[in-house]
Structure 1
Amino acid sequence: MRYVRLERDGVPVWGVVQGENVRTLTGAPYEGLCYDGHTLPLSGCKLLAPCTPTKIVCVGKNYYDHAMEMGEGVPEHPILFLKAPNTLNDPEGEIHAPDFVGRLDYEGELGIVIRKRAKDVKEADFADYILGYTCLNDVTARDVQKGDGQWTRGKSMDGFAPVGPAVTDEVDGRDLAIETRLNGTVVQSSRTNRFMTGIPALMAFITAAMTLEPGDVIATGTPAGIGAMHPGDVVEVEIEGVGVLRNRVV
Structure 2
Amino acid sequence: MPRARRGAEDLDLPSFVPVPRPGGGSRLLARLPEPDARAYEGLVEAALPAIERALGPEVVANRALPGPGVRLEPVAAARARHRAALAALLRARDVRAVLVLDVADFYPSTAPVAVERALRWAGGPALAEPLGRLLRSLGERGVRGLPVGPEPSAVLANAVLGPLDAALRGAELRHLRWVDDVIAPAPGPDAARRGLDRAFGALDALGLAANPRKTRILTEPEEVRAMARWGVPSGPPR
TM-score (norm 2): 0.29
- Higher relative strand content: 1
TM-score (norm 1): 0.28
Please tell me whether Structure 1 or Structure 2 has the larger radius of gyration of its CA atoms.
Answer: 2
- Higher relative helix content: 2
